[in-house]
Amino acid sequence: MTKKERVEPTGSGKYRICCVLHTILPVAVGGLIYFFFRPDTHISRFFYKVFSVTAPDSLEIVPCWLALICRNFLPDMLWAYALTATGMLVMDDGGKYSFWVCLIFITVMELCQKWGILSGTFDWLDIIFETCASALAALIVKPTKERM
């Protein structure tokens, strides 16, 4: 069977595990980071309301610089990673177009924050960190998908 004739193993266990690890898990971890580090966001308030819990006071055991990175950049990086991984796993373009579509989407979302269309704070560093996360997803998911 040639590479062109190969059937995508969407029903295989390996493919499902890959999808969970590269799409669902990063979004879930990002949600937990919002819960612990950003109690002032819509996502956190949703968690508190649904699960009837209160915001944690603080995480004194985490160094300040790590808390800053987790609070400001890691959740966005995780959703950018998951978005790129999802595009690459779903699309059959070898990652070529889905990667660029994700980068355009990331940039447009940040610009919409700058222009006041979406709530949030525009930051060039967000675009840089999210681009790095997307590139990491492309570097990891593309060879993983090719091996399946």
- The pLDDT, as a whole number, for residue 55 is 65
- The pLDDT, as a whole number, for residue 60 is 59
- The pLDDT, as a whole number, for residue 84 is 92
Triad 104, 134, 93: Cα angle to 5°: 75
What does each C-alpha distance from 33 to 1, 27, 79, 118 come to in angstroms?
A: 45, 10, 12, 21
What does each C-alpha distance from 36 to 11, 16, 48, 57 come to in angstroms?
A: 35, 29, 11, 9
- The pLDDT, as a whole number, for residue 70 is 76
Q: Confidence band (pLDDT; 50, 70, 90) for 6?
A: very low
pLDDT tens readout for residues 56-114:
665 555 667 777 777 788 999 999 999 999 988 888 776 778 889 999 999 999 999 99
Residue 72, SS3 per DSSP: helix
Mean pLDDT across 5-24: 70
